[in-house]
Chains A and B, each alone.
Chain A
Amino acid sequence: MSVIQCENITHYYGSKLIYEQLSFEVGEGKILGLLGKNGTGKTTIINILTGYLRPQSGVCRIFGEEMERLSPAAKSRIGLLLEGHIQHTYFNVEQIERFYSRFFPRWKRDAYYELLKKLNVTPTQKISTMSCGQRSQVALGLLFAQDPALLILDDFSMGLDPGYRRLFVEYLREYAAAENKTVFLTSHIIQDMELLIDDCIILDYGRILLHEPTAYILKNFRRFRFTATADVSAAGGGVLWNTEKIGHSWETYSFATLDEVRRELSKDGASIDALAEERLSLEDAFIGLTGKY
């Protein structure tokens, strides 16, 4: 069953196209990461999904309800983390828990305080006086206490040092797996996503470049380095991605096998030597798919 469905989303900011006919679904219990370079519209998708932006055309549904008319019941099942761990910073640790607890019938007070035990904060400490890392834990604690079926996290790693990032990812992974939660998240730090996400959508300017399981990308997408006697076509016939010359050698990326890549490279008549393949991290795969620039 799909928790999130987006159909044919087209959106422009002024005359700049952000997406055209963007469609995807997120199944129940999946952790889906939305990756893309700056300006490809990751936050825009989150805004559309949560009903804070009306696209020019197309529709998104969460739990079968259209994003612009989410019922209070549907909203209570969606945990939302805004970019930068934004919260109501005029509250203190205790007040913010008391505030949210009355809105959610399944509120788990202990989950919030359990997570906060790890922080060196007092119950009366104002959130505005906390570091970004501490605020991220408060935000995560509130999400766990809300116990939503779907978590939407916009750039959860923003402003966090490596320790807090790892802490956030570990807690989130454990929580999502134990409770069969669906998670839709974006982050500009792709190393963190590798530890967390089941499925991956890679956005390019205006479209989805790839929507595949993370394990499939890590298993099949490779970097190939080689030397060539003549220039190689950068087009790659749909098999090769971002073929470019670096110094005297070349590199390209592909889901194809070594032999298939060699055949593709030799089509223009160039002699291909020292062709070697390398396994990739998700970050390298992302660069291979989207290019460095």
Chain B
Amino acid sequence: MYRSLIFKEWIKTRRFILLSGVAFAALIAYIFLWLAQTSGSMGIVNLWETIISKEFSLVGHVKYLPLAVGLLLAVVQLAPEMQSKRLKLTLHLPMNETRIICTMLGYGLATLLMLFTLATLALVAGISVHFSREIALSNFLTALPWFLGGLQAYLLCAWICLEPVWRQRIFYAIPAACVLFSFYGSASPGAYVAYLPFMLFFIAASFFFSLHAAARFKDGEQ
């Protein structure tokens, strides 16, 4: 039954996942082309110096892509469920309703984790070829909140999508936007390291918001 539910989610999202993979690949390719071009024009030593002395980020171009992918995946996955209240059909399946929602969200999170992990590995591996481990780690820590922001965006957008009342959706969107802004404030390397546990806590907590919205849908709130 779980496999069947995952099959449903895959059918809805497969094109978007492919498109997201292509977008990440294109952006990473662009970053490395830009690195090659910059190091060629200003010299690799000067580039090293700029990175170290001016805390220059090599991964800045990737900043908002995880956010966009997280938001859009939730829409692609859950908007068809809410259209014509198709979620009734899904929740009518002979499974525990909480497990159904958790499986759907778990699929989305697993998909994002896979995409983000591959993108991070490619970025870190690519940076490590030309730069020290410390610089690669610093860029990883810079990009980490942005990728976590993608997961957070997915869960908050899922919460808003599953909410059955439009007025309530707008009401939810305001705190959701505030939480997301907090993931994208500073681009200084390592600026968010101290806040990572809080970010993880926010992400874990917002998983339950969707369950609350689904329960409201089940009760016929409108």
Interface residue ranges, A against B (CB under 8 Å): 47, 50-54, 72-73, 75-76, 78, 80, 82, 84, 86-91, 95, 98-100, 102-104
* Partner pick for B95 among A72, A82, A98, CB 8 A cutoff: A72
Q: Are A52 and B218 in contact (CB under 8 A)?
A: yes
Q: Which residue of B lies closest to A82 (CB)?
A: B88
Is there a chain A Cβ closer than 8 Å to B8's Cβ? Answer: yes
Tell me whether chain B's interface is mostly helix, strand or loop, or mixed. Answer: helix
Chain B 1-38 interface 0/1 with A at a Cβ cutoff of 8 Å (1 = within): 10110011001100000000000000000000000000
Give the distance in Å from the alpha carbon of A104 to the alpha carbon of B93 in the complex.
Answer: 9
- 9 nearest A-B pairs in the assembled complex, by CB-CB distance: A53-B220, A76-B94, A72-B94, A102-B4, A75-B94, A54-B219, A86-B84, A80-B92, A103-B93
Residues on the B chain within 8 Å of A78, using CB: 92
Given that A73-B94, A103-B1, A103-B93 are contacting pairs, would A52 and B88 also be in contact in the complex, using a CB cutoff of 8 Å?
yes
Selected from B1, B12, B93, B220, the residue in CB contact (under 8 A) with A90 is B12
11 contacts between A and B (CB under 8 A): A47-B220, A50-B88, A52-B217, A53-B220, A72-B94, A78-B92, A80-B88, A82-B89, A86-B85, A91-B8, A103-B95
Contact with A along B74-88 (1 / 0, CB 8 A): 000000100011101
Interface members, chain B 85-131 (any A CB < 8 Å): 85-86, 88-89, 91-96
Set B11, B94, B220: member contacting A95, Cβ < 8 A: B11
Residues of the B chain whose Cβ atoms lie less than 8 Å from the Cβ of A90 = 11-12, 80
Determine how close the nearest CB of chain B comes to the CB of A193; give it in whole angstroms: 23
CB distance from B216 to the nearest CB of A (A): 10
Additional A-B contacts beyond A72-B95, A88-B89, A103-B94 (4; CB < 8 A) = A52-B218, A80-B92, A98-B7, A103-B4
How far, in Å, is A233 (CB) from chain B's closest CB? 42
B92: chain A residues within 8 A (beta carbon): 50, 75, 78, 80
Q: Contacting B3 at CB < 8 Å: which of A50, A76, A89, A102?
A: A102
> Is A102 within 8 A of B94, CB to CB?
no
Q: Which of A54, A82, A87, A102 is B85 in contact with, Cβ under 8 Å?
A: A82
A213 to B96, CA, bound (A): 37
A73–B93 Cα gap in the complex (Å)?
10
A102 proximity list for chain B (CB < 8 A)? 1, 3-4
A292 to B181, CA, bound (A): 58
Q: A72-B95, A75-B94, A102-B3 are in contact. Are A88 and B8 (CB under 8 A)?
A: yes
User: Quick one: given A72-B96, A95-B11, A102-B3, are A86 and B89 in contact (CB under 8 Å)?
Assistant: yes
Closest CB in chain B relative to A13 CB, distance in Å: 8
* Residues of chain B lying within 8 A (CB to CB) of residue A72: 94-96
Query: Considering only CB atoms, which chain A residue lies closest to B95 in the complex?
Result: A72
Q: How far is the CB of B197 from chain A (nearest CB, A)?
A: 37
Closest residue to A80 on the B side, CB-wise? B92
Most chain B CB inside 10 Å of its own CB: which residue of A47, A82, A87: A82
Chain B residue numbers with a CB within 8 Å of A80 are 88-89, 92
Bound CA–CA A86/B84 (angstroms): 7
In whole angstroms, how far apart are the Cα atoms of A95 and B3 in the complex?
Answer: 13
Q: Most chain-A CB neighbours within 10 Å: which of B4, B7, B12, B88?
A: B88
Residues of A within 8 A of B8 (CB): 88, 91, 99
A73 CB contacts on chain B under 8 angstroms: 94
